[in-house]
Structure 1
């Protein structure tokens, strides 16, 4: 299946170090060769880069690895296709607008027989289960809250409910952000690390690269990095329990929800 990489922090930060290790998993140290993508939030704007080529052999990925774009929320994805052709329209992360902000979503997993009814607000462009899930989530959020964005607490509770329903269809690891916060769901496998002062030297697992974070940060910086598998071999990562939804803000976990799959809700068609 695919792999996920996310970053949520309290100050704009570049993801070059983490992406260097992540990029190698798209064809060198792992077999996720069906495309890759990354979304950077900058205020209300986004920079998005997508390529259906393997990340390990993509000139666009080489550019991202060496260009220090600073952001407080980043979502990246390397794909091993389970549903949908290896085409640009099926490459994650997906981006849509809602409530005057861009939203970005990436999924690692496989949702079987997931055929939701769409009312026309959000429709998939490609033919992946992942994009269907994203469009369905946004549709149900707008149905619930109308045209005004709710509080982060109310939004988190509704996303918890939707995740419970979607997880009944199969493996549903995902990252979701609107540039203000990030949600990360562990269906089968997800890890994270929160880096803050005192900062140390980190060594990548997939590349012979290390960095002394104390030389490039301040004592006020706090950065959460989320990945399918830990990216470094000399740091302690939190390995999250399957069935856990985490809400990250300002580089920290602010809320955790349990998402062990329950009964399928009647808002989804199980065709």
Structure 2
């Protein structure tokens, strides 16, 4: 399946260190080679880079390092196709307008059944289950709320819609409107909230090293969300099945704790509270 990367912070920050390790999983250290995308919020605007080529080998991905863009919210995705052909139209992240805002969404998983969008205004452009699911979420949000509701209402309704869709398959995702970021875990999703005192860290995928003390202040807060940890010497939090986290300004603001999935003594899949 695909892999996800998100960043939410309280000051504009570049994601180059994390992305350089992440992109290696698209053709070098792993096989997620069916395209990539990365979206940067800049105020209400979104700057997005996409390519159907593997991120590890893509000149478009090289631009991310060259431009050194700083943003409060970033979502990236490397694709291993399950539904839809390998093409630019099927690369994540996807963008839709909701209440006059750009909303950005990326999904890891496979939904075997999809809702009927024949009566919806929001339609997919490509042929992925991911974009169809996002269109359904966007359409349902607009139908329920004519005007933008509170963050608590948004978070609660996203949970309701997610549970409806997740019964049809694996539904890990990251979603942002440029103000906050929501992460949902079906199988694998990890995060780390960095703040002072910052330290030197080492990447998993190529042993690249950075000392964050040279690039941050004591007030900076940066959260990184990803399918599997990107660094060796930091303590990442693993989200559990069905878990939701709401991040804002680099901090965890709200959380619904998921359920740990385990193998029972008889080898069947059981569950334990986390």
Q: Normalized against structure 2, the TM-score is what?
A: 0.92
Map of 1:240 onto structure 2: 239
Runs of 5+ consecutive residues of structure 1 not aligned to the other structure: 261-271
Alpha-carbon separation, structure 2, partners of 1:137 and 1:246: 17
Aligned 8 A contact 2:40 2:75 in 1:
yes
Map of 2:97 onto structure 1: 97
C-alpha deviations, 1:93-130, integer Å up to 9, x for none?
Answer: 00111111101000000000213234342100000000
Moved over 4 A (4+): none
C-alpha deviations, 1:2-49, integer Å up to 9, x for none?
Answer: 000000001110000000000100000000000000000010000011
Task: Give 1:258 deviation, angstroms.
Answer: 5.0
Partner SS for 1:176: strand
C-alpha deviations, 1:216-245, integer Å up to 9, x for none?
Answer: 000000000000000001111111111101
RMSD (Å) for aligned C-alpha atoms: 1.1
1:170 matches 2:169: yes
Map of 1:216 onto structure 2: 215
Task: Give 1:52 deviation, angstroms.
Answer: 0.4
Map of 1:230 onto structure 2: 229
C-alpha deviations, 1:244-268, integer Å up to 9, x for none?
Answer: 01111111111112567xxxxxxxx
* 1:41-60 alignment, distance < 5 Å: 41-60=41-60
Task: Give 1:215 deviation, angstroms.
Answer: 0.7
* 1:134-213 alignment, distance < 5 Å: 134-146=134-146, 148-213=147-212
Alpha-carbon separation, structure 2, partners of 1:94 and 1:81: 15
Alpha-carbon separation, structure 1, partners of 2:48 and 2:160: 28
Map of 1:265 onto structure 2: none
Aligned 8 A contact 1:118 1:136 in 2:
no
Map of 2:132 onto structure 1: 132
Partner SS for 1:130: helix
Q: Normalized against structure 1, the TM-score is what?
A: 0.93
Q: How many residues align?
A: 259
Aligned 8 A contact 2:34 2:78 in 1:
yes
Partner SS for 2:184: strand
Aligned 8 A contact 1:163 1:259 in 2:
no
C-alpha deviations, 1:45-87, integer Å up to 9, x for none?
Answer: 0001110000011001112133210100000000000000001
